[in-house]
Structure 1
Amino acid sequence: MAKRGYKIQEFMAHSGAVNCLKIGKKECRRFVTGGEDHKVNLWTIGKPTYLMSLSGHNSSVQSLDFDSAEVLVLGGASSGVIKLWDLEEAKMVRTVAGQRSSCTAIEFHPFGEFFASGYMDANVKIWDIRKKGCIHTYKGHSQGISSIKFTPDGRWVVSGGFDNAVKVWDLTTGKLLHDFKFHGGHIMSINFHPQEFLMASASADRTVKFWDLETFELIGSSKREVTGTQSIAFHPDGRTLFTGHENGLKVYSWEPVICHDTVDMGWTTLGDLCIHDGKLLGCSYFQNSVGVWVADISLIAPYADASDTKKKTEDTEQKLSLHGSKLDKVEDDVPTSGLHSMSPDESKEIKNIYIDCKPLTLSIP
């Protein structure tokens, strides 16, 4: 059977440990990493050398985000300082020092010139990029902020905390709209359905929960997994939610909550997921190294054609039988090395999503 998930590259990303990672969602071709070496490095999928190295922080980088156009990058540090870089101009354009607590979560507004930041002192702040100032501070969490996300319409911001709570804030009134307290562990990831008023949250309690944002009711919850879910992403068609665990990938639908498939991937700490053009891209990190992984969604249920999958399995069994082998179980073949371990067709397929860019080092005093 064709490989469903495999690693396409692994490389050393920083001189110190990698703390955070974010994939640009526009085309899923670039990602940024933040490390203990105080650097933010910009990468292109498939290239082992950085496209740009963004300096300026004096402490470890703890949170990152791209704007929707992938022209700007935000980096939040353990000192509480936030820096904004313009990638086209190749320079740092803003420094914000609003807190002395570690900036553990950060996100651009989907279309306005604002961004949100969350801190270990439990505060959530909304910043106006043009005015260079904080326009809202939300207090309500009892512990630090672990995840932050704007709703697609830009009206609300949702914060997940180390207090296990998910809070929904109205940007217009500055007030708390709802407080979800059904998780038993801190919030790892938050994502919104592309068409419906539906939110999913993943927690260290090893469950994923689905919420109706019109009624603020819990729709359903996954069963408790063996390991915690680190990153989640709705498929653009709105049918499913892909969840990344330490030991692989799962695919869910809801009402009722059903797990359709499980794919062994081999990644460790999953930093981010992205779905684009029929492929799922995952970036993971361990110590100072980064791994890039791909899964072919056409081979994963419920997208895989059941009859086609059965035929491929039968053909494989027949071939092995002809060679005197007995096949008890067909498993995913997940290579643990880089591009050289892939077939020429797979390598060509992945290279089709690469873009050629020249490395640039950006040093800011």
Structure 2
Amino acid sequence: MKETIKMIDKMFSSSSFLALRFTVKRNTDFVDKLHYRYPEMPSEKDRILVRNAEDIDTAIRTQIDNLTGNSKKIGILLSGGMDSGILASYCHGINAYTFRFMGGDYQQEELQRAEIIAEKNDMHLHYVDINFNTVTDNLKAVMISKGGPVHSIEPQIYHAAMQAKTDGIEQMIIGDASDYVFGGMDKLLSKDWSFSDFIKRYIYVDPFEVLNDPISINYVFERYRKGDSIDFVEILGTLAAQESYGSYDNAFVAAGMEYFDPYEKLKMAEPLDLCRIRNGESKYLIRELFKIRYPDLPVPEKLPMPRPVDIYFENWKGPVRQEFKKNIDISIYNGNQKWLIWCLEQFLDMADNI
């Protein structure tokens, strides 16, 4: 058997995390004490081709019927969005877990929609209360599990999974993959990008702006190059999906809980209709299915999983470790970008003390 060669490359891993939110090079670790959990993509085998909302309905119903037919106690992560709302409509009577931030003062409309959906489906709704202390209390567990810094959703997913475990939940239903299968990343699909413009738009934090010894990861995009343009649809179905799937996977692995995403098995039989997306119909097939499942509710607009990172880091002064440049103007970065810089520093501090 061929021996797997592993390498330690803190600066490449740091640059990749800031730019892409994960370390893109397999078998490459930040430090020698922890192995990085490289995010694996789900198998293409047995993918279910869907052409319309009715196909998606049948595919989801079949999968959830098979899931709920086993002896495990099932829960669902329920937001006020389309994806989890649709899944909830096939899961009457189970336990639902909804994030509530700052006593319910953050994104109240989405919280209220989750409450309505839970009531319509006779679900026992549990609030998962999150604040910055909750995040920091759970951060070490998910960073050790990953062997690196993490996406800002991971500590709160881990917290929800641990709370559900105390209720006897053994497997959680999630709806993450819908965005990547059905064209939910509408801003990145909003136009035909040039190669260089897409890289600037896609990269989360340019490592050359904040690290003393940055390494370029732009080579990753070359595999998607089409002359002076880029296959941005393929990037969303591979590179972006890989990062997101890995974040959910790590949080649940850290919590020791199984999870299942019915959208992950699905694949569109026809190319995305970019005209519909660019005219305001992101995830148009999912919108149609939501109308079928909830004819009396307005279709909610797509929102990312809520996390008030702008509030968390409103007064943060920036990193101080030697790996980072001095006097970074941290005010130019939004909350999600600040999280990446802050979390990288938190991980490096933690790794020094293991």
Tell me the TM-score normalised to structure 2 length. Answer: 0.22
User: Which of the pair has the greater relative contact order for Cα pairs under 8 Å at 6+ separation?
Assistant: 2
Between Structure 1 and Structure 2, which shows a larger proportion of helix residues?
A: 2
TM-score by length of 1: 0.22
